[in-house]
Amino acid sequence: MLSTVLRRTCTAGSSGRPVGGTAALHMCRSPQASSLALAAGVAGRSCRAAFNTQSSSSSSSLSLNNLSDNPGAKTERTRVGRGCGSGKGKTAGRGMNGQKKRSSVNIPQGFEGGQTPLHRRLPKTGFKNIWAEPLTPLHVGELQNWVDMGRLSVPPNRLVTMKDLVDAGLFKANKIKHGIKLLARGGEHVHTPIHLEVSRASAAAIEAVEKVGGTITCVHFNRLALRALLKPEAFVVPVLGEGGEVEERLQLPRRARPPPKLMPLYLDSDRRGYLSPEVQMRNRTLFGGQVTSERVPELAHE
């Protein structure tokens, strides 16, 4: 490009014929020719830079011949025992001697070399009562919410049992392990009289229910009696009928008496125990002679 500019500059202005010799050399050394040559050089460099940029961008595009892992994604395996120059020779990074230098080492977790480990140096605190029977809590406010939603019906002439609460969806049958205890949270919202049969009840919960005309009866349930209440279909047994045909009959076991440790609780009328004379007289008057929801099996009368 520079030679082309020089040739065009060294051409006669009016005649258009080339000028040769000393005149041509003098014209090429003029300031006008020098500026034109500088402009031609700058244009050439910019063209070469644009070409190089286009070439590098085309070469950096993703293709099958330049696929590779990210830097640092793959590391070479450390080869040990290959001379001291590698830094992992001789002892291969395992130290001089000791148990961990050998292969197939199985050191138990928490082993401290033979000294008393930490979990044995610390003192024991507390205990777990293997005879505890935790009760499932139920608050009277939650019970009233289910009544207001229409999900729990309140019969006026019988007790609402734990089976009714399970059928309404308040609990799952397998979540009630030892019974239900009625608590008083939300007692200011109770306005429906309900006759409830539970395992235990707090004094505030009893007051909240009886204030609106309801009653509380605390009944003892062992594991067998609780299973018979919540899953009576498990006690349907085949019985040979009078005509020689096999019939299915519901035979529920009798409920066990409370153990001596719990007997004072269910004899206390203030805690609404079902064995107290006051609670028995009240329930017989309200529910037609029935104290609890227990159904006496037919075999007991034979």
Q: What is the pLDDT of residues 35-63, one digit of tens each?
A: 554 555 555 566 565 555 555 555 568 88
Beta carbons within 10 angstroms of residue 159's beta carbon: 22
Residue 227 confidence (pLDDT): 96
The model's pLDDT over 269-281, given as tens digits with 9 standing for 90+, comes to 999 999 999 999 9
So what's the pLDDT on residue 12?
43
| Residue 269 three-state SS | coil
pTM to 2 decimal places: 0.61
Compute, in degrees rounded to 10, the torsion defined by CA atoms 265, 271, 277, 282: -150
CA separation for the pair 109, 112 (Å, rounded): 9
> Which burial class, exposed, middle or buried, applies to 117 when counting CB atoms under 10 A from its CB (0-12, 13-18, 19+)?
middle
First to last CA, the chain: 127
CA 31 to chain centre: 84
DSSP H helical segments within 212-254, as ranges?
A: 223-230
- pLDDT of res. 61: 82
Cβ atoms 108, 101 nearer than 8 A? no
pLDDT at residue 46, as a whole number: 60
Count other C-beta atoms under 10 Å from residue 137's C-beta: 13
Task: Assess contact for 181 and 205: CB atoms under 8 A.
Answer: no
Spatial distance between the Cα atoms of 26 and 4, rounded to a whole number of angstroms = 17
Closest C-alpha to 200, from 175, 213, 217, 185: 217
User: Which pLDDT score is estimated for 20?
Assistant: 47
Q: What Å distances lie between residue 3 and 16, 28, 50, CA to CA?
A: 18, 11, 22
| Cα diameter, the chain | 149
What is the pLDDT at residue 6?
41
DSSP 177: S
170: exposed, middle or buried (Cβ count in 10 Å: 0-12, 13-18, 19+)? buried
Nearest to 206, CA basis, from 179, 184, 222? 184
The Cα–Cα gap between 170 and 149 comes to 12
What digits encode the pLDDT tens for the residues 250-264? 999 999 999 999 999
Count of alpha carbons within 13 angstroms of residue 43, beta-carbon side: 9
What is the per-residue pLDDT for 62?
85
pLDDT string in tens for the chain (302-residue length) = 444 444 444 444 444 444 444 444 344 445 554 555 455 555 556 656 555 555 555 556 888 998 989 999 998 899 999 999 999 999 999 998 888 888 888 999 999 999 999 999 999 999 999 999 999 999 999 999 999 999 999 998 899 999 999 999 999 999 999 999 999 999 999 999 999 999 999 999 999 999 999 999 999 999 999 999 999 999 999 988 888 888 898 999 999 999 999 999 999 999 999 999 999 999 999 998 899 999 765 544 44
**Which residues are CB-neighbours of 38 under 8 A, at least 6 positions away?**
none
